[in-house]
Structure 1
Amino acid sequence: MLGSYKTASVDQPKGAITDLATDIVDVMRGYKTMQERAEDDLRPIVERLHTLHSHHASALFRVLETYGGEPDKAGSIMGVVHSVVATARDWTGSLDTSALPQILAGEKQVINSYSAAIDNLKDAPRLRGILEDQRAVLRAHIAALEQ
């Protein structure tokens, strides 16, 4: 589960953004592997999600820098896990649209990461607004994929 290995930060805005950005980078790492290995029916979906997360991560990195943080663009061990899972699915010949339910489950975990960050930013309405906007865009992408 994304974000479950995190601890609360004393510096709430910086900590909340750092945790969320790490989760997004981790998901992007899995999508990067999928872009290289996915079947033609899955590749455009993965590319769209990777691009969306890339834009969101870039915006979060800029915000993090304004709070004096340094973005960790490498992510965490979960990024390696996502990449390994994508590789294993490729080896078994199932890196196609049959992977969509797992992708959607992962995206819903990212939504949970957004919600956790938003909940920790009660005293930062501008920052909450940025995260709420990003979460809404991601929710729209998920809804489109669920149809």
Structure 2
Amino acid sequence: MTDFSPESLAAIGPKEFTQLVKSTPDSKIAEVMASDTRTKILDEVFNRMPTLFRAERAGDTAAVMHWIITGGPNGQDTYETVIENKTCTVTSEPVRQPRLAMTMDALTFLKTITGAGNPMMLFMTGKIKAKGDLSLATSIPKLFDIPKG
């Protein structure tokens, strides 16, 4: 599958999406994520986040994270992930003060969440900017079932 669109994303699972990101040229992903379909794709990805949350690994984690995705047709999009009481909720209308805020472009975001990019290297090279609790950032992979494609 090489169709990188909201419709194809809605029809495939996380592992297939991971394979799609890894097999699609960066230039094509960047083009799609700079278009009007970007919000639908980001919404689909973030709406799945609670289903990939590993409550059994959360312990007493209580955190608010803001994901600031730059480079959209209307500037940036911000999503809020709240982890508390062994649950995960996501909204595209942040209202709480974040313990961690991460800023990156859409291509970097998709590579990070699919395991196609090394988050530490992306941070070290400035592609991911983080403010707040950096130890929380390092615990994200254990809190979510990130598909390996």
Bin the TM-score by the shorter chain. under 0.3
Q: Which structure ranks higher in relative contact order (CA pairs < 8 Å, sequence separation ≥ 6)?
A: 1
Q: TM-score, normalised by structure 2?
A: 0.28
Q: TM-score, normalised by structure 1?
A: 0.28
Q: Which protein has the larger Cα radius of gyration, Structure 1 or Structure 2?
A: 1
